[in-house]
């Protein structure tokens, strides 16, 4: 019996949509006010889901406290109260769109989750805009 276990988490960060190989004019033409050189920011809400067999010993697919601690060490410690463009190495040469952020988070978590478990990450950039990545 395969069950999905999900955990919500949260971080705040500043960013701008920006390609360093374009000048500010082109960045603004494509990305609008999201490309403001002085940055803007978001309360990012995160839902991390793992899917797999229930361990008959514990009744858990994965101990949600372990999942919570993993999200904390891999995502919250790395991203919270940070400027994504300036301070998070993955975005030095990668435009921090919601799409790219969710893929980066998925890759960071994937390394630490058993290969028998499927992983999916949902990232809310605002209460009305969100993205999802499942490794496809």
- As given in the structure block, the two tokens for residue 112 are 């630490």
Give the C-alpha separation, 123 to 75, whole Å. 12
Shortest reach from residue 61's CB to a copy of itself, in Å:
6
Shortest reach from residue 112's CB to a copy of itself, in Å:
19
Catalytic-residue membership of 28: no
* Ramachandran assignment for 89, one of left (phi > 0), alpha (psi -120 to 50 degrees), beta (any other): alpha
CA angle centred on 87, ends 84 and 89, rounded to 5°: 90
Shortest reach from residue 13's CB to a copy of itself, in Å:
6
> Which residues are near a copy of itself by CB under 8 A?
1-10, 12-15, 17, 30-34, 36, 38-43, 45, 49, 54, 58-61, 64-65, 80-83, 86-87, 94-100, 102-103, 126-133, 136
């Amino acid at each position: 019996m395969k069950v999905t276990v999900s955990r919500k988490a949260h971080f705040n960060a500043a960013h701008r949509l920006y390609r360093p190989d374009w000048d500010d004019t082109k960045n603004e033409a494509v990305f609008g006010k999201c490309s403001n050189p002085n940055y803007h920011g978001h309360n990012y809400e995160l839902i991390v889901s793992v899917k797999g067999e229930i361990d008959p010993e514990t009744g858990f697919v994965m101990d949600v406290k372990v999942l919570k601690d993993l999200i904390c060490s891999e995502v919250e410690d790395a991203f919270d109260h940070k400027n994504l463009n300036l301070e998070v190495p993955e975005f030095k040469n990668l435009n921090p769109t919601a799409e790219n952020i969710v893929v980066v988070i998925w890759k960071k978590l994937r390394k630490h989750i058993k290969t028998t478990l499927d992983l999916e990450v949902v990232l809310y950039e605002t209460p009305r805009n969100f993205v999802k990545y499942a490794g496809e």
